[in-house]
Amino acid sequence: MFTQKTSKSKTALKVLAVSILCIALCFLSACAKGSGYDVVIVGSGGAGLSAAVAAREAGASVLIVEKMPFAGGNTNYATGGLNASETSVQKAKGIADTTEQFYNDTMKGGKNVNRPELVRTLTDESAKTVDWLIAQGMDLSDIGKLGGATNSRAHRPAGGAPVGPHFVKVMLAAAEKAGAQIRYNTKVTGLIEKNGKPAGVIVSADGKTEKINAKAVVIASGGFGANPAIITSYKPELEGFGTTNHPGATGDAFEWVKPFNGALNDPDQIQTHPTVVPVKNIMITEAVRGNGAIMVNRDGGRFEQEMTTRDVMSKAILAQKGKTAYLLFDQGVRESLKAIEGYYKKGLLIEGTSLTDLAGKLNIPAATLEAQVKRYNSFAAAKKDTDFGRADMPRKIEKAPFYAVEVGPAVHHTMGGLAINNKAEVLTADGSSIPGLFAAGEVTGGVHGANRLGGNAMADIAVYGKIAGTNAAAYAKGK
């Protein structure tokens, strides 16, 4: 009798297992044929990955479509840090900062062109978002100070390692672990329209066009910094500029939202990053200056306070001979920031055993350079820069060897994009939201105004990516 019951139980379990497998296969097959997801996310950069994790946490089925063969987008190149205020990490380190100051710094940096409600949400949600990222497995234990910030609030991995690649690695793993599906080499060409509302995406992959239905869509496709035609249509003076952007940052989303009367905020606000290696278009993070480097021209002199905003420094460099300058630092600065090791390995640094040796290699007057560094060191000792008013001088430049890298401005960040509200809903020209359409990250406009502060892009993709994913899932489930 016992044997008979056991046999029947095993048979029942096998039938149940097969049934579950069939249901799962049918679900996957239906999704693959485009029958639909709760949420489709366009783009697998930091904003898209944050949205995917948040949407899955809210119980939505999620598909990410990415036109590149890899994840990350421009987030792969982010180095300086992720700005946040009143965080658990700051408090543990005894760093005094306030969310109100973070808000004021961001508005001031953006020349008050920013939409206040978007900035308020960015800053108010930053501390909780840092804790959320840490819970996903992210290391944000190191804190630095970037240009335009009153206090140290740029969170990054231990030792000042680049934050972007780490963010992508952790959040991609978190999204996959949570059950989000990802399709690479899949380019979105438009949005599906149903009853006047977005109802999924039209994609091109392997030479075929396909429709993927979704109850909600999150656009996280990045900016247009790699599209010279759009750049120069808004800013003709940037013709011929290099770019720090990856090749997929082409602004495709602007066309997708036109059938829904989608609006744009500040598309003419385009930022150049001041410290980009000419021709190679490799960005040198602002954190190098934040950790003590100075900027000198071909005469060996400083010409601006190094921690000013990116637009001011870019303009100052373009006013120098050759329209480039040298970022100069010593072994002490190198040892303070892991990101510099990457530049060294790429052969970007010019090294001198002494300032005289370095000056010879740069073909600038040695006596002038030595006098300039000596003068700067006196400011650092006195904690007062009487020449340019630099407030933050963490160390002297005195430990051999000495290093320099030639830098100049290149197109870096497009502050303008799709108009959104603080729920990450895409807006029409009259300010109403487009049902079921959300956006986050550099594809949007209004958060950064006329100038983005270093560290705020990472805050933007995390805070608004999370908001977009959460709200898209709620919309899909009719909540």
So which residues are the catalytic ones? 310
Amino acid (1-letter code) at residue 378: S
Amino acid (1-letter code) at residue 231: I
245: Cβ contacts below 8 Å, ≥ 6 apart: 74, 222, 223, 225, 226, 411, 412
Dist CA 399 CA 44 (whole Å): 42
Q: Which DSSP string corresponds to 263-330?
A: -EE-TT-EEEEEEEETTTTEEPPTHHHHTT-EEE-TTS---S-TTS-HHHHHHHHHTSGGG-EEEEEE
Dist CA 320 CA 275 (whole Å): 14
What are the backbone dihedrals phi and psi of residue 208, each rounded to the nearest 5 degrees, phi first? -120, 145
> Are the beta carbons of 52 and 469 closer than 8 angstroms?
yes
How crowded is residue 168: how many other Cβ atoms within 10 Å of its Cβ?
21
Q: What secondary structure, in 3-state letters, does 158-170 show?
A: HHHCCHHHHHHHH
Dist CA 92 CA 74 (whole Å): 30
* Residue 92 burial (C-beta neighbours within 10 Å; 0-12, 13-18, 19+): exposed
